[in-house]
């Protein structure tokens, strides 16, 4: 863990180290991913089964790729009532927030007489990639699937790797709660290839979303353009801005909740109270003695964690903007006021009783957020990921007479004569004398 004092002369050097990319090593994945995608495109299910056997140690025939309704029902029915209720509460809250997020169409007639519009329509089909193994989280199934449902996507196909054939039953239960019943036990670049190009068993989709490992990220990059993709997810991070009135133990838990995700995760405390910073650091060390995922969380905290002391909240806000964190938790006397001064953050959690974990599960807003400083330009998953815009223009004869001549001038200047003629021929027919 780094201790940085924003008032000190050597702050910039230490801060630069903190900003250093924590990107996983992706060198060398380009070529194997290209090979996998080409094989899936050419051979379809045969290649899918071959790679699933190789990478997931699971021998499958094409007819077993799809998870059966019985398997889903069995998983759903084996879920405890408490967990089912929790999944349903989370789903209802996520659905409500994303419904509030739905944008409105636009339509107006302007003073030139043109009627201009913009309308939103849902994608026909999307693919959800759900990581397997340690990161197969039912909450992520809800967070990925429900915005697509709310947007009105008719077909949602989910791919989840099942290393050794093991599939978290809660992932299936969450899929059932979210209304997703098309699920395939396939992962990695081969799953991305199947979703992008389609196979006999898995029909192609229009857009692929969801986080994955370096192979999945590279595969999404390579199929981009043929289908849409979401952001490439990197290791995640939290910045906690807290004054000395907070409970050091609570604050330590908030930092560790991020650190326990991944050794590359980053947890940063920014405070104006150096003694509080020390108390939180001591509490972190204390909790690490008993935390089940202490090996991961401890590594993350040691390598990428930091306590930054600032002279005031203005300085804190400017440091937050430079970190552009995925998660920002604000526990000061005026969290709303502080949040208003921040430009770059994926999601902001405000109040001493609003830890980031609220947003991971039951807050309502999406927990799939821009990581690794991409909040400078990217946004969390939303209904916008599953909608597209079509603009419309309607022009009457009079409207064309008003705006057409300028179009003719520009088209001629660009050397595009058919463009100019398509306007001027009509203007001429309307009695224009300008051309």
Question: In angstroms, what is the minimal distance from the CB of 277 to its own copies?
Answer: 18
Question: In angstroms, what is the minimal distance from the CB of 95 to its own copies?
Answer: 12
Q: Is residue 189 a contact point for its own copies (CB under 8 A)?
A: no
Residue 304: burial class (beta carbons within 10 Å; 0-12, 13-18, 19+): buried
The set of residues, in sequence order, having a beta carbon less than 8 Å from that of 345 and lying 6+ positions away, is: 239, 320, 324, 325, 326, 327, 328, 375
Q: Is residue 394 a contact point for its own copies (CB under 8 A)?
A: yes
Q: Is residue 77 a contact point for its own copies (CB under 8 A)?
A: no
Question: In angstroms, what is the minimal distance from the CB of 365 to its own copies?
Answer: 4
* The binder of its own copies chosen from 17, 19, 59, 106 (CB under 8 A): 106
Chain position carrying tokens 């309307």 = 430
Q: Which stretch binds its own copies (CB under 8 A): 46-54, 194-202, 302-310, 375-383?
A: 375-383
Reported residue count of the chain is 435
CA distance 209 to 221: 12
Q: Which stretch binds its own copies (CB under 8 A): 48-56, 68-76, 187-195, 396-404?
A: 396-404
CB nearer to its own copies: give 245 or 311: 245
Please indicate if the annotation marks 419 as binding a ligand: yes
CA distance 298 to 284: 9
Question: What residues numbered 406-435 form the site for its own copies, per CB under 8 A?
Answer: 406-407, 409-411, 413-423, 425-426, 429-430
Q: Is residue 227 a contact point for its own copies (CB under 8 A)?
A: yes
CB nearer to its own copies: give 188 or 355: 355
Show the site string, 132-171: x = touches its own copies by CB under 8 A, - = not.
Answer: --x--xxx------------------------------x-
Q: Is residue 365 a contact point for its own copies (CB under 8 A)?
A: yes
Q: Is residue 109 a contact point for its own copies (CB under 8 A)?
A: no
CA distance 388 to 278: 49
* The binder of its own copies chosen from 149, 185, 207, 304 (CB under 8 A): 207
Q: Is residue 38 a contact point for its own copies (CB under 8 A)?
A: no
Please indicate if the annotation marks 414 as binding a ligand: yes
Q: Is residue 212 a contact point for its own copies (CB under 8 A)?
A: no
* The binder of its own copies chosen from 45, 237, 263, 356 (CB under 8 A): 356
Q: Are 18 and 2 in contact (CB under 8 A)?
A: yes
Show the site string, 44-73: x = touches its own copies by CB under 8 A, - = not.
Answer: ------------------------------
Please indicate if the annotation marks 98 as binding a ligand: no
* The binder of its own copies chosen from 155, 303, 395, 435 (CB under 8 A): 395
Q: Which stretch binds its own copies (CB under 8 A): 5-13, 192-200, 292-300, 307-315?
A: 292-300
Q: Is residue 358 a contact point for its own copies (CB under 8 A)?
A: yes
Q: Which stretch binds its own copies (CB under 8 A): 61-69, 102-110, 155-163, 268-276?
A: 102-110
- The encoded tokens of residue 265 equal 């995760």
Q: Is residue 391 a contact point for its own copies (CB under 8 A)?
A: yes
Question: In angstroms, what is the minimal distance from the CB of 435 to its own copies?
Answer: 11
Q: What is the 3-state secondary structure (H, E, C) of the chain?
A: CEEEECCCCCHHHHHHHHHCCCCCCCCCCHHHHHHHHHHHHHHCHHHHHHHHHHHHCCCCCHHHCECCHHHHHHHHHCCCHHHHHHHHHHHHHHHHHHHHHCCCCEEEECCCCCEEEEEEEECCEEEEECCCHHHCCHHHHHHHHHHHHHHCCCEEEEECCCHHHCCCHHHHHHHHHHCCCEEECCCHHHHHHHHHHCCCCCCCCCEEECCCCHHHHHHHHHHECCEEECCCCCCCEEEEEECCCCCHHHHHHHHHHHHCCCCCCEEEEEECCHHHHHHHHHHHHHHHCCCCCHHHHHHHHHHHCEEEECCCHHHHHHHHHHHCCCEEEEECCCHHHHHHCCCCCCEEEECCCCCHHHHHHCCCCCCCCCCCCHHHCCCCCCHHHHEEEEEEEECCHHHHHHHHHHHHHHHHHCCCHHHHHHHHHHHHHCCCCCC
Question: In angstroms, what is the minimal distance from the CB of 403 to its own copies?
Answer: 4
Q: Are 138 and 174 in contact (CB under 8 A)?
A: yes
- Catalytic residue set: 326-327
Q: Which stretch binds its own copies (CB under 8 A): 2-10, 61-69, 179-187, 378-386?
A: 378-386
Question: In angstroms, what is the minimal distance from the CB of 408 to its own copies?
Answer: 8
Please indicate if the annotation marks 129 as binding a ligand: yes
Task: Indicate the annotated binding residues for substrate.
Answer: 236, 258, 261, 327, 360, 414, 419
Task: Indicate the annotated binding residues.
Answer: 129, 190, 213, 236, 258, 261, 327, 360, 414, 419
Task: Indicate the annotated binding residues for NAD(+).
Answer: 129, 190, 213
């Amino acid at each position: 863990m780094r201790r940085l004092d924003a008032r000190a002369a050597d702050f910039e050097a230490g801060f630069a180290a903190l900003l250093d990319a924590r990107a996983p090593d992706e060198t060398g994945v380009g070529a194997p991913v290209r090979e996998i995608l080409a094989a899936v495109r050419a051979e379809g299910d045969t290649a899918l089964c071959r790679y699933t056997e190789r990478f997931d140690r699971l021998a499958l025939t094409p007819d077993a790729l799809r998870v059966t309704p019985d398997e889903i029902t069995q998983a759903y029915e084996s879920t405890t009532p408490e967990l089912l209720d929790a999944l349903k509460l989370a789903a209802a809250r996520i659905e409500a927030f994303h419904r509030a997020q739905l944008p409105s169409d636009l339509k107006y007639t302007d003073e030139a007489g043109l009627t201009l519009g913009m309308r939103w329509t849902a994608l026909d089909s999307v693919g959800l990639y759900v990581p397997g193994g340690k990161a197969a989280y039912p909450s992520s199934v809800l967070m990925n699937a429900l915005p697509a449902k709310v947007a009105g996507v008719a077909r949602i196909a989910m791919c989840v790797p099942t290393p050794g054939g093991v599939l978290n039953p809660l992932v299936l239960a969450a899929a059932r709660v979210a209304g997703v019943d098309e699920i395939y036990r396939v992962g990695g670049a081969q799953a991305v290839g199947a979703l992008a190009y389609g196979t006999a068993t898995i029909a192609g989709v229009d857009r692929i979303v969801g986080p994955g490992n370096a192979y999945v990220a590279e595969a999404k990059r390579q199929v981009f353009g043929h289908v849409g993709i979401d952001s490439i997810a990197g290791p995640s991070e939290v910045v906690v801005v807290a004054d000395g009135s907070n409970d050091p133990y609570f604050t330590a838990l908030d930092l560790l909740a991020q650190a326990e995700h991944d050794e590359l995760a980053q947890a940063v405390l920014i405070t104006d109270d150096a003694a509080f910073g020390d108390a939180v650091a001591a509490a972190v060390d204390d909790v690490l003695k008993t935390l089940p995922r202490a090996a991961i969380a401890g590594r993350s905290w040691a390598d990428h964690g930091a306590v930054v002391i600032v002279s005031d909240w203005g300085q804190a806000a400017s440091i937050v903007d430079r970190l552009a964190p995925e998660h920002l938790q604000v526990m000061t006397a005026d969290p709303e006021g502080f949040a208003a001064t921040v430009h770059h953050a994926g999601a902001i959690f405000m109040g001493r009783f609003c830890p980031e974990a609220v947003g991971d599960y039951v807050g309502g807003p999406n927990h799939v957020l821009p990581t690794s400083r991409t909040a400078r330009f990217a946004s969390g998953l939303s209904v916008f990921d599953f909608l597209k815009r079509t603009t419309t223009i309607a022009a009457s004869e009079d409207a064309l007479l008003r705006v057409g001549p300028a179009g003719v001038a520009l088209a001629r200047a660009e050397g595009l004569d058919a463009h100019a003629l398509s306007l001027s021929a009509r203007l001429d027919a309307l009695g224009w004398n300008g051309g």
